[in-house]
Each structure stands twice: as structure tokens, then as C-alpha cells.
Chain A
Amino acid sequence: MADNVYDAIVIGSGISGGWAAKELTEKGLKTIMLERGRNVEHVKDYHANKDTWEYPHRGGRTKQMEADYPVLKRDYPLNEKNLDFWVNEKESPYTETKRFDWYRGYHVGGRSLMWGRQSYRFSDLDFEANLKDGHGTDWPIRYADIAPWYSYAEKWAGISGNRDGLAVLPDGDFMPPMDMNIVEKDLASRLKKEYGGQRHFIMGRTANITKPHTGRINCQYQNQCWLGCNFGAYFSTQSSTLPPAVATGNLTLRPFSIVTEIIYDKDTQKAKGVRIIDAETNQTYEFFAKVIFVCASAFNSTWVLMNSATDVWENGLGSSSGELGHNAMDHHFRVGAGGRVEGYEDKYIFGRRPTGLYVPRFVNVDGDNKQRDYVRGFGYQGAASRGRWSGEVAEMSVGGDWKDAMLEPGDWSVGFTAFGEILPYHENRIYLDKKTKDKWGLPVLAMDMEIKDNEKKMRKDMSEEMKDMLDKVGVKDVYTYDNEYHFGMGIHEMGTARMGTDAKNSVLNKHNQVWDAKNVFVTDGASMTSGACVNPSLTYMALTARAVDFAVAELKKGNL
């Protein structure tokens, strides 16, 4: 076999790419995983050992950082501690036809290193939503199609959570849940009583393991996951999917490999391989394989398709339906409520738990008696905590007594942020901006999307409903907030190469297979037909494992 010929090519090494590489290599396929950025080695390249005081700005942001990262600075991600996990914005610009905040990680592991780790299953409420209310196109799969693959992904990735028995949020194959603190437990039982079992504060289901698993050490409650975990306690490519892929002896990992296009063969109507630019040397290389998995992160996966087979389809591989680049989604958030909890002065919290409470969707579901002026819904993430006293007083706020008072914990408080579904609007799209080039002379993406009436109406409920709940469970001084959402801030880019029931309405079929080239599979966020309101990464894991299973079976049958 020539050294540029493989059985399979995986583009991207994040959550989806890592899963594709694991599954393909375990099924015996010689696989090359192409990653556009540098390598990040497990433990060695993490920042977990360093304490806050070892950073010159104690983890903060400098003016130079703000100048270098004009996008990252718009929200919390810009910080001194894990700056090298975020994309170099000067090298890789993009165009904002409308404001779009794009938080990217271009390195081995991608955003699996910095992700929020909340892991929820979609339910049939989600898979049937498009069909029922007419927005977007129908999902070509239902919960029963993906449920076994959710189990499969959960069992390997290690998802801790409680089996809550709720129809809107199906239970999975979980590790033991993390614990609620004493205040959360009381609030949860009061909420259940107040709402007759219709609403729930449940323990957040998170990709942090709570017992040793596949050679990884269970969570040590440091809550500094996004610096990289020396214990491998949270799911990442490095901790979970790369080791077994490497262990097969079938994997070649090639960092600094920017895939510029998929090479399409008109005669066979299949892809032959990919062309790359080496990001360090600017040399062009080609790699060939029987099957290609595109897992470059939602919008970049679509970018690869848009740049491929343009001699056959002007708008790129997979564009025959006219849907490539369209139906872009995210989750809208930064809205919610909080308040002060009285009492519990004799209780405190030991350990820093890397998850919180979750409130499953309760609007527009069975049992919701209110008339809503929007479709779909939202969930909440939050927590009760006992923070430090802020030191804010009218009287003397300097000196020794004041300092000593500040060394003690303050009141308990509770706060929640809502995450809402964004409908798949055809006109919310990305496209190639051929006039603007990146460091390697490649055209960049232009972002042209916005939230609309449905989301704006939902946002009112997203704060008001939580205010009502907190009032009812006895929280004091309840406040609401809306800190404004801009598209992309959820860091849950979805859509632009959606799955569908027909080649006329979608880019991918029910196996994540490109209608226009059946040996090309797109299994990351690009493939999503709708977004639901839950964190999407677990669904990418399940879709990826499912698609690999199908692809390898098809290969064996000689169908690819």
C-alpha cells in the first residue's frame, strides 16, 4: 500500500472525528486522521498543574490579548490560562455578514478539550418537531434508531447522571451521578411538590466519570476541565477515543493538515480522497481512501464540501439540493434568573463540582397547560452555591476587620441560565467569501444568520418562568437577566449540511451519507436537522458511531 493510501480518512479530530477514528480503526480499517492544527498531547500539553498565582495576570486578559482575539474577547473564553487552546484569529479570519461569534479550537482534540461536557439525549419530541410544526425538514431518523448508539457512546465516553425517568429527556447508560448540594436537594424536592411532578431540578448529566473507567481516573472535583485534565476524568479525544484508536495500530494521526477539498471522481460518482495543505510547509499532499468521514466541526465540514467537486456542482459537493450551507443553528442563552437562599449557615461545600443542576424542558410538552406564543422550548443549567462575601458595604470597606470578614463565605445563592432551541431557518446560512483569504490563501466563511421572532418571544419566558419557579420554592430577592445573545455564543454550531428523507431536501441521508457521493459521511454538528434545546455533542458521538457501523458494513458488501 502506498504511504498515501488508506482504507479511511477522517477530517478533524474533535469529538466527532475522534469517535470516527476509534470506530473505523477498531473495525480494522487503516485510517488517517487529518487535523488542521498542532498536536496536543494528553497531560503533557495541559495546563492543569499550574496554579492561578503562577500566571502574570492571574488568568485575566491583557490589552494585547484583546487586540489579538477580537472575537474571543466578546465573551468568557478569552483568558490567560488556556489561550493556546483557541484558534489564532489573525491566521484564520471569517466574515460577519451579520454578527457571529465563532469560538474555535484548531488542534488535535479540537473543542473536546474545552467543551462544557453536558450530555443529553434527544427524544422523539425533538426528532418529530420539524415534521409536527413545519419548520425545517423532517429528521430521517427517530429516537429508536439512535437509542442503542446513545448507549454505546455513553458506555465508552463515561457519562455520569441520574436515571430520572422523564420522557422529554431519555435516561441513558450512566455512571453514578454527581451529588446535589444540600440546598439544591431541598429546592429540587420543593419544586417537584409545587409543580405536581411536572418540573424538575435534576443533576446535570456530564461527561465526567465518577468511577475509574477504561484506564481513566475518576473526577477529582477540581473543576478546571478546560485546562485539560491530568486524570483524563472528562471525555476528550485525548482521554477517550484516541488511545483505543492508537492501540489498534491502524491509526495515523497527521496534525498541521488543512484539508482543502475532497477529490471527487465523476466516473464512479464517489470521492477518491482528499487534498491537503501542510499548515507548516504550505506543501500540498493527496491522500486516498475508500471512505471519508468529514468531522471538521459543523461549519468547517460544510466549508470542505463547498470547496469540493465545484466542477460538477458550482456550490460544491452535496449542494444538489440547494441546502448546503443553509439552516444554520446554535442555542440561544445568556438569559435566566437567580436569587438568594436563606439559611444553611452551618453548611458549606467541599470540592469543586464540574457540573450543576439541569432543568429539562417543560414548555410545549405534554402537561404544559399554558398557551405559548412560540414553538419548541428551552432547558436550564444552574446551581446553588455558597460563594465568598463580596465585601460590598456602605460603611467602612477597607482595613483588617473588613479583610477578615471577607475570608468567610457569604450567603447561599442560586442561579440558572436558559438554553433555547433556534429553529432551522433556510435563510440562516454560511457561504464562501472568495474575496477574503486566510493565511494559506484559502477563501473564508461568511456568516449570515440571526435569531427571529420565535426565539425572541421564547427569551421572555426563559427568564420569567425561572423567576416563577424560584419564587415558588422560596428563593429570596429573585432577579431576572438577559445579557443579550449573539449567534454563535452557544458554541453549538449546527446544521448547514442537514440530514433528510430525500436527496431533494437535504445534504445527507439517514446514515449521514452525502446523497451526492455515497462514500462521504458527515457526522458532526453540520448534519443536524434540528437543534433541540439540549447540548448536542452526545448526539454527534452516537451519530458518528452509527454511521461508521453502516459504512463498514456497506464497504464489506462492496457498496461503497
Chain B
Amino acid sequence: MNRRQAIQRVAMIIGGSVIGANLFLEGCTRSASKDVETLFEQSNVDLLNELADAILPRTSTPGAKDANVGAFIPVMIRDCYTSVDQKAFVEGLSTVDEVAQKEFNKKFAELTPEERLQFVNRLDKQAKDFQKEKKEKEKAREQDRANQNESSTNRQNQNANKVNDLDEFPNHFFTMLKQLTLTGFFTSEVGMTQALRYVKIPGKFDGAYPYKKGDRAFA
């Protein structure tokens, strides 16, 4: 009996019933707050694509909009982010056009490539300062708690389980946007196969593979 026959035989013995439900699919259908649902509206998906494309624009290689990162971001915000971060993200996004209006007298989508770059670069700097401050606040609070709980025997279990949603300081809207833009782009089909080099089945290993400046990285 060859191996292929052997495998078919196993399938027969067990009757071929497989219950391997993809549990995470159930996980993704959880009801999200109404605010988060607005991210899925086409106008917001479009705006997210424009913003993401300002962070990673098309050059000689595709950009974030080519990878439709704007459709990926709402899924991640809904399913993977805390309610505190969700709120911060929705609020942050809603102020984009206001800020653009104030600064350039037009909506974000109407800005020139240079203006867009200026816009996201300033947000990037703001976000970095904000995140630094958040880290300091968290550190201070942790210190406070450590002082209070010094006698607690339950520390290990606390470490194992993340602190409650409501306890969190939110992340900056732009920090989340940028991280999701990077993740979304570099894990997309466009990003992996057209911006980076992707070889699904390499078939061999070469640990001294020639490289010259400008060659793209492997995904």
C-alpha cells in the first residue's frame, strides 16, 4: 500500500467527519458599538485609504490605498482594540477634516500630496509625544499600585491577565492608524507580492544569497 492509499484508508476508518470549526470566525461577529460601525461606511473607508496612502504612498511600488488598507483598519479596530482605543480612534478620525479645513481650508481628500505629507508628519510628531506621555502616566500608576499591593499574593495572576479596559489610557489616534497602516500594507497581497518579494514555496535555502543596494526585502 502506498502512502496515498494509506491516507485514504485513514479517512475511511474515521468516517471523514471533521468538526474543526474556525472558532475565531465566531469571535469576529461580536456586536461592536455603533460608533465603530461607522468606520465601515464607505466615506470613512475612503478617508482611511487616503490617510494610509499619505503614510505609505504609491511610489515606484504600490501604496497603502492600492492594498485597500482602508477596509482592513475598521475590522481590526472593531475586533482587536479595547473600547477605550475604539473611542479614541473614531474621535480622532472625525476631526481629520476639521483640522485640514482649519489649516488648509479644504478637506483632507482635497489636499495636494505635499500638504498631505505635511499633515501626517505633524500628526506623527504629536502622536509620538502623546505616546511618550501615556507611557509615563502608566508607569507612574503602576508604581502607585505596586506600593499599594506590596503584600498581595496574587501578583502572578494579575500579570497573566491584562488590566481592565476602562483602566487604560487610550492610544493616540494616529499611532493606531500608522501601526494598522503598516501591518495592513505589509501583510496584504499587494504589499507582500508587489512591494516586497514573496516566494511562497522557496524550495531551497541559501544563506549567502547575493544582495545589492536597492533589492527589495523578502516578505
Chain A: residues with CB nearer than 8 A to chain B? 38-45, 51-53, 56-66, 68, 70, 74, 80, 83-84, 88, 96, 98-99, 107-108, 178-182, 184-185, 214-216, 220-222, 242-244, 246-247, 251-255, 345-353, 388-389, 391, 396-400, 403-404, 407-409, 484, 486
Chain A residue contacts of B157, Cβ below 8 A: 96, 99
B115 contacts A by Cβ under 8 Å: no
Chain B nearest CB from A195 CB (Å) reads: 23
Contacts of A252 in B (CB 8 A): 13
> Is B145 at the interface (CB under 8 A from chain A)?
no
A57 and B7 CA atoms in complex are apart in Å by 33
A221 touches B204 (CB 8 A): yes
Complex Cα–Cα for A352 and B209 (A): 12
B14-56 to A contact mask, C-beta < 8 Å, 1/0: 1011111111101110100000000000000000000000111
Name 6 extra pairs, CB < 8 A, besides A347-B209, A350-B218.
Answer: A52-B192, A99-B160, A243-B7, A255-B14, A351-B206, A353-B207
Residues of A contacting B61 in the complex (Cβ-Cβ under 8 angstroms) = 403-404, 407
Q: Which of B55, B189, B217 contacts A388 (CB 8 A)?
A: B217
B22, B28, B205: the one within 8 Å of A64 (CB): B28
A sample of 28 inter-chain contacts (CB < 8 A) reads A38-B19, A38-B20, A39-B17, A51-B192, A53-B188, A57-B79, A62-B80, A63-B81, A64-B79, A65-B27, A74-B160, A83-B24, A84-B21, A84-B22, A96-B157, A179-B206, A179-B207, A181-B207, A182-B207, A243-B3, A253-B13, A255-B14, A346-B211, A347-B209, A349-B205, A351-B199, A399-B120, A407-B216
B152 at the interface (CB under 8 A from A): no
Known contacts A64-B28, A178-B205, A246-B6: A397-B79 contact under CB 8 Å:
no
* B156→A400 contact, CB < 8 A: no
Question: How far does the Cβ of A11 sit from chain B's closest Cβ, in whole Å?
Answer: 17
Closest to A49 in B: B200
Chain A residues within 8 Å of B60, by CB: 404
Q: Is the CB of A253 within 8 A of B14?
A: yes
For residue A337, give the distance in angstroms from its CB to the closest CB of chain B: 22
Q: Which residue of A lies closest to B181 (CB)?
A: A398
Check A222–B200 contact: CB distance below 8 A.
yes
Roughly how many angstroms separate A51 CA and B191 CA in the complex, as a whole number?
Answer: 13
Q: How far is the CB of A53 from chain B (nearest CB, A)?
A: 4
**B27 with A399: CB separation less than 8 A:** no
User: Which of chain A's residues have a CB closer than 8 A to the CB of B182?
Assistant: 391
Closest to B14 in A: A39
Given A65-B24, A83-B24, A399-B57: A408 and B215 within 8 A (CB)? yes
B161 interface residue per 8 A CB criterion = yes
Query: How far does the alpha carbon of A88 sit from the alpha carbon of B22 in the complex, in Å?
Result: 11
Determine whether the beta carbon of A41 is less than 8 Å from that of B202. Answer: no
Best-surrounded residue of A52, A181, A253 (most CB of chain B within 10 A): A52
Q: Which of A57, A242, A350 contacts B204 (CB 8 A)?
A: A350
Q: Given A41-B18, A51-B189, A388-B217, are A404 and B211 also a contact pair (CB < 8 Å)?
A: no
Cα A108 to Cα B58 in complex, Å, equals 47
> Which label, helix, strand, loop or mixed, suits the secondary structure of the A interface?
loop
Q: Are A53 and B189 in contact (CB under 8 A)?
A: yes
A62, A70, A398: the one within 8 Å of B120 (CB): A398
Contact present for B117 and A399 (CB under 8 Å): yes
- Bound form: Cα–Cα A96–B184 in Å: 38
* A351 in contact with B24 (CB, 8 Å): no
Residues of A within 8 A of B24 (CB): 57, 62, 64-65, 80, 83
- B187 near A52: Cβ-Cβ < 8 Å: yes
Interchain CA distance A220-B218 in the complex, whole Å: 16
Size bracket of the B interface: 35 or more
A44 to B19, CA, bound (A): 13
* A348 interface neighbour in B120, B159, B195, B210, Cβ under 8 Å: B210
Please indicate the chain A residues that have their CB under 8 angstroms from the CB of B58 in the complex: 400
Known contacts: A398-B124, A399-B55. The answer to whether A221 contacts B203 by CB under 8 A is yes
What chain A residues lie within 8 Å of B19 (beta carbons)? 38
10 closest A-B pairs by CB: A181-B207, A64-B27, A351-B205, A348-B211, A351-B202, A215-B3, A58-B187, A182-B208, A350-B209, A62-B79
B residues near A397, Cβ cutoff 8 Å: 124
Complex alpha-carbon distance, A347 and B183, angstroms: 26
The reply to whether B217 and A222 form a contact with Cβ atoms under 8 Å apart is no
Contact status A64-B124, CB under 8 Å: no
User: CA–CA, A346 to B211, complex, Å?
Assistant: 5
CB-defined contacts of B207 to chain A, threshold 8 Å: 179-182, 184-185, 349, 353
Does any Cβ of A come within 8 Å of B63's Cβ?
yes
Contact B205 A404, beta carbon cutoff 8 Å: no
Q: Which of B20, B79, B196, B202 contacts A220 (CB 8 A)?
A: B202
* B21 partner residues in chain A, CB cutoff 8 A: 84
Contact flag A53-B203 (CB < 8 Å), given A247-B1, A398-B121, A400-B57: no
Q: Judge whether B166 is part of the interface by a CB distance below 8 angstroms.
A: no
Report whether A64 and B26 are in contact in the complex, using a CB–CB cutoff of 8 Å: yes
Write out the residue numbers on chain A whose beta carbons fall within 8 Å of the beta carbon of B171: none
Contacts of B30 in A (CB 8 A): 63-64
Contact B2 A350 (CB under 8 A): no
Residue B102 lies at the interface, judged by CB distance under 8 Å to chain A: no
Most buried by B among A184, A251, A255, A389: A255
With a cutoff of 8 Å between Cβ atoms, the chain B residues found around residue A251 in the complex are 13
Residue in A closest to B75 when the chains form the complex, CB atoms: A56
Cβ–Cβ < 8 Å partners of A98 in chain B = 156
- Residues 144-192 of B at the A interface (beta carbon under 8 Å): 156-157, 159-162, 178, 182-184, 187-189, 192
- Is the C-beta of B112 less than 8 angstroms from some C-beta in chain A? no
**Contact indicator B204/A53 (Cβ below 8 Å):** no
Q: A52-B192, A243-B3 are in contact. Are A345 and B200 (CB under 8 A)?
A: no
Give the residue name and chain of the B residue nearest to A403 (CB): B56
Contacting pair B205 A179 (CB below 8 A): yes
Is B132 engaged at the interface, CB distance under 8 Å to the other chain? Answer: no
Report how far A178 CA is from B206 CA in the complex, Å. Answer: 10
